[in-house]
């Protein structure tokens, strides 16, 4: 391993970092759930936590054992941690009732629901994810299958690398393949090694409307100092091994993320990024990178 590469040892058994409870809720999390459905509005915090834990346990087993599921990241809307002026710009883009929002890699969909509660209509919202079981788990989590979002929003199974899936996402956007006005991507780009970031970004940008002012925003594991890290997993027998092919992870800062945008679409996007100030309180992981929030606006 090169000495410039930081080694981060990850527990194989993620139960080691699994949080036992999402309690105590902060006001924003409590509101996200209680406003989602009348069924949840009547629950005490303890009852709500029990419900969330039950769905978390299923979501954790549904696909990859994501640490962010184990540690209840989804209880906290991340889109609201954007700088206020970025959030306002993104939200304003959705004032036109024809405008479309894509929450890509939405998982159980806390961010698209936050935007819905902030006035974005169900028919404007599309969630996409590799794992469709998360869509149903999201409806259970927020008890909103029979409500406007359950009836009107679209959820599309999509592996970002699958052209047929991408075409399905595109056809859920503005009519005539007009694309999306806003894309939110939470905790997605950093899942892939640096070599794939351009490809992933190229596909994400291909979903966007061509109109100036459209924007793509998100959060990713990031840092003030861009750096590659290697995640090192012990195998089941407990001995540590590095699968360099699959374990490398690149943490962006503003400059390195800008460079990827410039490579993919020279001169087309204005990007701003900032290390996020707020962390989910239930975060039980140690030694992890910070979160980098960003917004890129089409010039
Ligand atoms: C770490 S979770 C983040 C979920 C959510 N956006 C958040 O911020 O809490 C990553 C999500 O990416 C999805 N994902 C992983 N690989 C994908 C791919 N190739 N195409 C589309 N989604 C993918 C996973 O199914 C999972 O829901």
Domain membership flag for residue 293: yes
Question: What is the percent of the chain where pLDDT is above 90?
Answer: 64
pLDDT of residue 195: 80
Answer yes or no: is pLDDT of 67 > 70: yes
Comparing 27-31, 66-70, 227-231, 264-268, the range with the smallest average pLDDT is 227-231
187 C-alpha vs ligand 1 centroid, how far in Å? 7
Pocket lining: 217 vs ligand 1, CB cutoff 6 Å? no
Mean pLDDT of the chain: 85
How far is the C-alpha of 108 from the C-alpha of 110, rounded, in Å? 6
Domain membership flag for residue 89: yes
24 C-alpha vs ligand 1 centroid, how far in Å? 26
3 C-alpha vs ligand 1 centroid, how far in Å? 30
pLDDT of residue 253: 80
**Total of domains in the chain:** 1
Best probe residue, ligand 1, of 58, 129, 207 (max atoms within 8 Å of C-beta): 129
Average pLDDT, integer, range 162-172: 98
For residue range 232-257, what is the model confidence (pLDDT) as tens digits? Answer: 444 444 444 444 444 456 678 888 89
Report whether 166 contacts 173 (CB < 8 A): no
- Domain enclosing residue 229, as ranges: 6-298
Domain membership flag for residue 71: yes
Report residue 17's pLDDT band, with 50, 70 and 90 as the boundaries.
low
Domain membership flag for residue 257: yes
26 vs 224, higher pLDDT: 26
Domain membership flag for residue 120: yes
CATH number at 184 reads 3.40.50.150
Query: What pTM was estimated for this model as a whole?
Result: 0.90
What Cα–Cα distance (Å) separates residue 258 from each residue in 53, 88, 117, 200, 264?
Answer: 38, 22, 31, 14, 10
Domain membership flag for residue 1: no
Pocket lining: 207 vs ligand 1, CB cutoff 6 Å? no
Best probe residue, ligand 1, of 63, 80, 130 (max atoms within 8 Å of C-beta): 130
């Amino acid at each position: 391993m090169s000495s410039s590469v930081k080694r981060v040892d990850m527990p194989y058994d993620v139960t080691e970092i699994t949080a036992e409870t999402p309690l105590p809720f902060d006001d924003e999390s409590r509101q996200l759930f209680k406003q989602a459905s009348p069924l949840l509005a009547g629950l005490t915090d303890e009852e709500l936590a029990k419900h969330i834990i039950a769905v978390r346990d299923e979501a954790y087993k549904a696909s990859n054992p994501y640490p962010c599921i184990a540690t209840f990241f989804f209880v906290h809307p991340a889109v609201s941690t954007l700088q206020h002026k970025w959030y306002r710009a993104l939200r304003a883009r959705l004032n036109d009732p024809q405008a479309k929002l894509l929450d890509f890699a939405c998982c159980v969909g806390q961010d698209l629901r936050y935007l819905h509660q902030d006035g974005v209509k169900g028919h404007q919202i599309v969630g996409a994810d590799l794992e469709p079981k998360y869509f149903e788990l999201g409806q259970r989590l927020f008890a909103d299958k029979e409500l406007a979002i359950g009836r009107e929003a679209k959820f599309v199974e999509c592996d970002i690398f699958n052209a047929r899936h991408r075409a399905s996402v595109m056809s859920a956007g503005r009519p005539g393949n007009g694309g999306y006005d806003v894309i939110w991507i939470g905790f997605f780009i950093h899942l892939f090694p640096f070599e794939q970031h351009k490809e992933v970004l190229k596909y994400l940008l291909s979903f966007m409307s061509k109109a100036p002012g459209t924007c793509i925003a998100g959060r990713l594991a990031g840092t003030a100092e861009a750096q590659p890290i290697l995640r090192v997993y012990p195998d089941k027998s407990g001995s540590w091994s590095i699968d360099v092919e699959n374990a490398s992870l690149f943490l962006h800062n503003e400059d390195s993320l800008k460079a990827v945008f410039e490579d993919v679409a020279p001169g087309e996007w204005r990007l701003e990024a900032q290390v996020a100030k707020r962390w989910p309180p239930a975060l039980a992981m140690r030694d992890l990178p910070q979160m980098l929030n960003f917004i890129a606006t089409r010039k």
